[in-house]
């Protein structure tokens, strides 16, 4: 379901200049924004976008950056202008260019007093329960420390990315990351203004679609477009990413990253490009993911104090509040949290196995190391991995 420009304009009130509608953003920069046509890093354009992210960071917003450009940076560093598409060559370029790309971002963010961290992910990291838990905790931990994570596919080992496989592009990676960290908004920035009713390269009168409330077959047909010579993604992959993210309760915007102050304008709710509305609320998506994505492996019984705190949304589940463990499960499995009457309070991803929890139940978090000889955090279930039912 889509709205035309007139309907969208009439339905939406003019946003306040100071109001911020989104607090946690995943920003994906396409190759066309970080590299010039001849394959060099476009430091001027990168600096402009980093400056905008720096402004938002200073306002207290949380930002994760998913950036393309490692292969282009590698070609630039080695002075190779001729395009080759064989996998070993592109993996070598990625290995050379990833450090160069990160160095450029580190210098640019440093000008705004912002620390950055590199996170190289593969699809296996997102699907494996331990990898998912570790990646989520790491990214959220970085955000808590006011660090900007810079995420990319690990091109050196992730062959699917370099072969341009359907689920191996950075558009879909950014959607997976947005779901991973419960982002409020995913911004897909490239050199296109958004989704049009027709290909604007063929029809200069084609109208931009400002809002999409449901991604159906019509929308998917409209997304067919030619791929960029520098990047791996076209509009079709962006629609795939939007479908994944909105199905997880994340709003998505596809727009032109070259527009002035595009990011500050977007977080204030200004209509730029094409907005894809979340298909469900974030809480619904979390519940649905946890209930259908992973089967519950066991139960953790908590005392009345912990039950009341969890029901009020106060913090994580600590070992001191645990009375008993039911079932056999491993670290990273989905578990139910129940009160002493057996009523379900929450579900979440456990930081510890059932055997470990049985050992540390009732103890203070500071005793975990002495009781187990290792620890994976002070919480049995961290609040970031917990959904109260």
pLDDT tens-digit readout, 284-308: 555 555 543 335 789 999 999 999 9
* Cα 380 to Cα 226: distance, rounded to the nearest angstrom: 48
**Cα torsion through 78, 81, 84, 85, rounded to 10:** 90
Strands (E), 139-179: 148-153
Is residue 327 scored above 60 in pLDDT?
Answer: yes
| Residue 276: pLDDT band with limits 50, 70, 90 | very high
Is residue 193 scored above 80 in pLDDT?
Answer: yes
Q: What's the whole-number average pLDDT of the chain?
A: 82
In this prediction, residue 38 carries a pLDDT of 75
Cα–Cα separations (whole angstroms), residue 343 to 299, 303, 314: 11, 12, 18
Is residue 365 scored above 90 in pLDDT?
Answer: yes
In this prediction, residue 3 carries a pLDDT of 52
In this prediction, residue 82 carries a pLDDT of 61
User: For residue 97, with 0-12 CB atoms within 10 Å meaning exposed, 13-18 middle and 19 or more buried, which class applies?
Assistant: buried
**C-alpha of 176 from chain center:** 5
In this prediction, residue 166 carries a pLDDT of 33
Q: Is the dihedral of CA 95, 127, 176, 190 positive or negative?
A: positive
| Residue 218: pLDDT band with limits 50, 70, 90 | confident
Q: Mean pLDDT, to the nearest integer, of 174-197?
A: 90
* Cα 389 to Cα 383: distance, rounded to the nearest angstrom: 13
Is residue 123 scored above 50 in pLDDT?
Answer: yes
**C-alpha of 295 from chain center:** 23
Q: Mean pLDDT, to the nearest integer, of 182-198?
A: 90
| Residue 230: pLDDT band with limits 50, 70, 90 | very low
In this prediction, residue 232 carries a pLDDT of 47
Least confident of 223-232, 271-280, 313-322, 352-361: 223-232
In this prediction, residue 109 carries a pLDDT of 97
Q: Would you say 300 and 357 are in contact if contact means Cβ atoms under 8 Å apart?
A: yes
Neighbours of 251 (CB within 10 A): 21
| Residue 225: pLDDT band with limits 50, 70, 90 | low
Helix (H, G, I), strand (E, B) or coil at 26: strand
DSSP sequence for 348-371: EE-SS-HHHHHHHTTS-GGGHHHH
Is residue 203 scored above 80 in pLDDT?
Answer: no
| Domains of the chain: residue spans and CATH | 2-286 (3.40.1160.10), 294-388 (2.30.130.10)
Q: Mean pLDDT, to the nearest integer, of 309-319?
A: 87
DSSP assignment letter at 95: H
Helix (H, G, I), strand (E, B) or coil at 376: coil
Rounded to two decimals, what is the model's pTM?
Answer: 0.70
In the chain, the N- to C-terminal Cα span, in Å, equals 31
Give all strands of the β-sheet with 344-349 in edge-to-edge order: 322-326, 298-302, 334-338, 344-349, 386-388
> H helices then E strands: how many in the chain?
16, 14
Q: Return all residues near 311 (Cβ < 8 A) that are at least 6 apart.
A: 345, 388
Q: Is the dihedral of CA 151, 152, 154, 158 positive or negative?
A: positive
* Cα 270 to Cα 18: distance, rounded to the nearest angstrom: 11
Q: Between 235 and 204, where is the model more confident?
A: 235
In this prediction, residue 261 carries a pLDDT of 96
Q: Mean pLDDT, to the nearest integer, of 222-237?
A: 60
Q: Which range, 21-35, 147-161, 268-282, has the best average confidence (pLDDT)?
A: 21-35
Strands (E), the chain: 2-3, 24-29, 62-67, 116-121, 148-153, 185-190, 211-212, 251-256, 274-276, 298-302, 322-326, 334-338, 344-349, 386-388
| Residue 51: pLDDT band with limits 50, 70, 90 | very high
In this prediction, residue 360 carries a pLDDT of 97
How many CA atoms lie within 13 Å of 25's alpha carbon, on the beta-carbon side?
28
The count of residues in the chain is: 389
* Cα 299 to Cα 301: distance, rounded to the nearest angstrom: 6
| Residue 41: pLDDT band with limits 50, 70, 90 | confident
Q: Mean pLDDT, to the nearest integer, of 101-110?
A: 95
* Cα 377 to Cα 389: distance, rounded to the nearest angstrom: 24
Q: What is the pLDDT of residues 155-169, one digit of tens each?
A: 666 554 444 333 457
Strand partners, 65: 27, 150
Q: Return all residues near 314 (Cβ < 8 A) that are at least 6 apart.
A: none
Assigned token pair, 90: 């592109």
Helix (H, G, I), strand (E, B) or coil at 146: coil
């Amino acid at each position: 379901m889509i709205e035309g420009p007139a309907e969208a304009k009439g339905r939406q009130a003019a946003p306040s200049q100071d109001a911020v509608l989104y607090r946690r953003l995943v920003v994906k920069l396409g190759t066309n924004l970080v590299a010039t046509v001849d394959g060099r890093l476009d430091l001027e354009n990168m600096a402009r976008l980093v400056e905008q992210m720096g402004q938002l960071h200073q306002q207290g917003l949380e930002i994760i950056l998913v950036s393309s450009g490692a292969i282009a940076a590698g070609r630039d560093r080695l002075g190779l202008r001729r395009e080759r598409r064989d996998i070993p060559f592109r993996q070598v370029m990625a290995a050379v260019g990833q450090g160069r790309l990160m160095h450029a971002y580190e210098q640019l963010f440093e000008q705004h007093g912002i620390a950055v961290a590199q996170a190289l992910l593969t699809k296996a990291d997102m699907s494996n329960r331990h990898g998912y838990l570790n990646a989520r905790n790491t990214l959220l931990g970085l955000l808590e420390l006011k660090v900007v994570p810079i995420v990319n596919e690990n091109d050196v080992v992730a062959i699917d990315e370099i072969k341009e496989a359907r689920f191996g592009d950075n558009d879909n990676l950014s959607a997976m990351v947005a779901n991973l960290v419960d982002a409020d908004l995913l911004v897909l920035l490239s050199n296109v203004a958004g989704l049009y009713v027709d290909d604007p390269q063929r029809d200069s009168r084609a109208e931009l679609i400002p809002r999409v409330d449901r991604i159906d077959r019509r929308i998917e047909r409209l997304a067919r477009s030619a791929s960029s010579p520098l990047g791996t993604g076209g509009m079709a992959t962006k629609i795939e990413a939007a479908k994944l993210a909105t199905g997880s309760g994340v709003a998505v915007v596809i727009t032109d990253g070259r527009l002035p102050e595009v990011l500050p304008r977007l977080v204030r709710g200004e209509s730029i490009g094409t907005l894809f509305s979340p298909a469900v609320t974030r809480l619904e998506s979390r519940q649905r993911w946890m209930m259908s994505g992973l089967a519950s492996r066991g139960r953790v019984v908590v005392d009345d104090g912990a039950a009341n705190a969890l029901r009020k949304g106060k913090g994580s589940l600590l070992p001191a509040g645990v009375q008993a463990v039911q079932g056999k499960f491993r670290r990273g499995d989905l578990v139910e949290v129940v009160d002493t009457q057996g009523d379900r309070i929450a579900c979440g991803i456990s930081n510890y196995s059932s055997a470990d929890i049985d050992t540390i139940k009732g103890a203070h978090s500071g005793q975990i190391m002495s009781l187990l000889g290792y620890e994976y955090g002070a919480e049995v279930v961290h609040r970031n991995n917990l959904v109260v039912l």
